[in-house]
């Protein structure tokens, strides 16, 4: 039995306990998906369902995206507000998103039980397909740190998970989720030294090259806003991009409007983006959004020593200031 499966069994037992102790009445976790290299988020309401839960290298989605919705108050004040007692299965990035949402009052702290998962990082689907060189039709995490796949053409491959990790996982600042309510034991990734390595190429570019890269990536955008919809920290009731009064953005998919949306969204993610890369995975046209969110994260960390979601109860970045905040861009006469 692999370590991940150990963790999976422990997770199932823990969830059963949580239901039995009535600490939760709803658990958001992962279940088997319909496609190889995928799992999907599931919503469990009783201990009987706990055996649906899976834990493997394909639990890429960030389940925190469902929190604002699950805790939404009813439209009519006459209706009783019955928030769930939620258990949420969380990787490090998921837990950071949960903390961010708690900090922003999207759910009462006492109603959320964070089930911290041991995480060695998740497999990047694109990397698997590139390495396999063909469509993957079956994938299992077989032994510790390895992924075995079969391709459409009938070939079998075994890859080290380490070589398949998503950029988000390579950049992850945490060896394991922190400030959780229940910690599931298991092997975790320990290497947190490669943070922002993925940015090196981008940062090495000249301003004109960066512009060209940005322009090329954004020229693919069809303005479906999937990046916003899958983002756990994009939950505004009416996004600035959807507002009619004032109408911030133009309607077209021309570059200027597309950039307006993306830079506007990035601004709103400053000090909030937990770098889970849900946006990048969801983008149907494959825009490299992660480079820009990561650049933002790096700036925020450098300028304000602020990493979103690491410290519960910290003040939101842009709703606070320090007297000695950076003045590096203030011009002086």
Partner 1 sequence: MSGGATTSPYLPSAVTIEKITIENEAKDLRTFRLAFCEEADAAAFSHACGQFAILSVAGAGESPIGIASSPLDSGYVEFTVKRYPTGVVTTALHAMEEGDQIGLRGPYGNAFPMRALEGKNIVIVGGGFAFTTLRATIRWILHEQNRARYGNVTVIYGARSPGELLYKDELKGWEARSDIDMFVTVDKGDEGWTGREGFVPTVLQEVAPSADNAVVLVCGPPIMLKFTMPPLLQLGFSPETIITSLERRMTCGLGKCGRCNVGNKYVCKDGPVFTFKEIQALPEGAL
Partner 2 sequence: MVFLCNWCATLAAELAGSNRLAYPAGVRVVKVPCAGRINPLHLLRALQNGADGILVFGCHPGDCHYAKGNLLARRRLSVLKGLLEAVGMEPARLQFSWVTASEGSRFATLLDRAVQDVRTLGPNRKFVKNPAAAG
Partner 3 sequence: MEKGIIGKSELAKLVEAMAADATCLGPVKDGQDTVLAELGPDTELSFDYANFRLPVKRLFFPQSEVTCVLRDGQLVALPPPDEKTVLFGVRPCDAQALPYLTKIFSDEKYEDPYYLKRRENAVIVSLACHTPCSTCFCTSLGGSPAGRAGCDILAFDLGHELLLEAETEKGKALLAAHEALFAAPTDAQVTAAAEQGAAAEASMAKIETDGITEKADQAFDAPLWEEIAARCVACGVCTYLCPTCHCFGFADEQVGNRTQRVKCQDACMFPLFTLEASGHNPRTTQGQRLRQRIMHKFSYTVKNVGEIFCVGCGRCVLYCPVNIDLREIIEEVRK
Binding footprint of partner 1 on the chain (CB under 8 A): 244-245, 247
In the set 282, 296, 300, 307, which binds partner 3 (CB under 8 A)? 282
* Cα dist from 64 to 101, 107, 114, 175, 317, whole Å: 8, 11, 10, 19, 20
- The token pair at 94 is 């998921």
* Cα dist from 260 to 230, 271, 293, whole Å: 19, 19, 15
- Report the nearest approach of partner 3 to the CB of residue 138 (Å): 9
Is residue 61 part of the contact set for partner 3 (CB under 8 A)?
A: yes
Is residue 211 part of the contact set for partner 2 (CB under 8 A)?
A: yes
Report what 185 binds from partner 3, partner 2, partner 1, none; CB cut-off 5-8 Å by kind: none
In the set 20, 130, 205, 236, which binds partner 3 (CB under 8 A)? 130
Is residue 327 part of the contact set for partner 2 (CB under 8 A)?
A: yes
Report what 137 binds from partner 1, partner 2, partner 3, none; CB cut-off 5-8 Å by kind: partner 3
Q: Are 293 and 269 in contact (CB under 8 A)?
A: yes
Is residue 251 part of the contact set for partner 2 (CB under 8 A)?
A: yes
Report what 2 binds from partner 2, partner 3, partner 1, none; CB cut-off 5-8 Å by kind: none
CA 176 to chain centre: 15
Is residue 236 part of the contact set for partner 2 (CB under 8 A)?
A: no
319: left (phi over 0), alpha (psi -120 to 50) or beta: alpha
Please report, as residue ranges, which positions from 140 to 199 form the binding site for partner 3 (by CB under 8 A): 152-153
Considering CB under 8 A, how many residues would be counted as binding partner 3?
A: 37
How far apart are the C-alpha atoms of 23 and 142, rounded to whole Å? 33
Is residue 328 part of the contact set for partner 2 (CB under 8 A)?
A: yes
Report what 39 binds from partner 2, partner 3, partner 1, none; CB cut-off 5-8 Å by kind: partner 3
In the set 53, 65, 89, 170, which binds partner 3 (CB under 8 A)? 65
For partner 3, which is the closer residue by CB, 3 or 228? 228
Residues 267-292 as b or e (16 or more Cβ within 10 Å = b):
ebbbbbbbbbbbbbbbbeeebbbbbb
- Which residues, listed in sequence order, are joined to residue 157 by a DSSP beta bridge? 149
Report what 226 binds from partner 1, partner 2, partner 3, none; CB cut-off 5-8 Å by kind: partner 3
For partner 3, which is the closer residue by CB, 155 or 285? 285
Report what 245 binds from partner 1, partner 3, partner 2, none; CB cut-off 5-8 Å by kind: partner 1
Per-position x/- string for 158-197, each x denoting binding to partner 2 as judged by CB under 8 A, each - no binding: ----------------------------------------
Pairing verdict, β 39-44 and 26-32: antiparallel
Is residue 260 part of the contact set for partner 2 (CB under 8 A)?
A: yes
Count, residues in the chain = 333
Pairing verdict, β 86-90 and 112-116: parallel
How far apart are the C-alpha atoms of 169 and 94, rounded to whole Å? 12
For partner 1, which is the closer residue by CB, 79 or 323? 79
Question: Residues near 152 by Cβ (< 8 Å), separated by ≥ 6?
Answer: 134, 135, 136, 137
- The token pair at 148 is 């075995």
List helix spans (H) across 110-219: 125-132, 167-170, 200-204, 207-218
Is residue 212 part of the contact set for partner 3 (CB under 8 A)?
A: no
| Contact set with partner 2 (CB under 8 A) | 207-212, 214-215, 240, 248, 250-257, 259-260, 263-264, 266-267, 270-271, 292, 295-296, 299-300, 303-304, 317-321, 323, 325-333
């Amino acid at each position: 039995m692999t370590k991940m499966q150990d963790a999976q069994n422990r997770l199932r037992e823990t969830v059963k306990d949580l239901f039995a102790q009535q600490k939760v009445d709803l658990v958001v976790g992962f279940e088997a998906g319909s496609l190889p290299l995928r799992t999907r988020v599931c919503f469990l309401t009783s201990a009987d369902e706990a055996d649906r839960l899976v834990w493997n290298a394909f639990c890429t989605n960030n389940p925190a995206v469902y929190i604002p919705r699950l805790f939404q108050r009813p439209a009519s004040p006459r209706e009783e507000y019955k928030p769930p007692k939620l258990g949420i299965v969380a990787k490090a990035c998921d837990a950071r998103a949960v903390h961010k949402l708690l900090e922003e009052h999207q759910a009462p702290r006492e109603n959320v039980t964070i089930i911290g998962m041991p995480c060695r990082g998740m497999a990047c689907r694109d990397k698997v397909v590139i390495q396999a060189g063909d469509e993957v039709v079956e994938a299992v995490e077989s032994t510790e740190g390895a992924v075995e796949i079969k391709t459409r053409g009938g070939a079998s491959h075994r890859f080290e998970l380490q070589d398949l990790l998503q950029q988000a996982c390579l950049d992850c600042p945490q060896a394991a989720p922190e400030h959780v309510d229940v910690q599931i034991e298991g092997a975790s990734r320990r290497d947190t030294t490669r943070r922002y390595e993925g940015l090196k190429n981008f940062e090495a570019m000249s301003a004109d090259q960066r512009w060209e890269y940005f322009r090329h990536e954004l020229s693919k955008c069809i303005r479906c806003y999937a990046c916003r919809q899958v983002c756990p920290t994009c939950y505004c009731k009416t996004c600035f991009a959807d507002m009619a009064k004032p109408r911030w953005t133009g309607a077209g998919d021309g570059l200027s409007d597309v950039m307006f949306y993306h830079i506007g969204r990035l601004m709103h993610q400053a000090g909030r983006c937990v770098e889970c890369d849900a946006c990048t995975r969801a983008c149907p046209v494959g825009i490299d959004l992660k480079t820009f969110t990561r650049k933002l994260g790096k700036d925020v960390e450098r300028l304000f020593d602020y990493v979103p979601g690491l410290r519960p109860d910290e003040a939101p970045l842009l709703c606070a200031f320090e007297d000695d905040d950076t003045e590096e861009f203030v011009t002086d006469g």
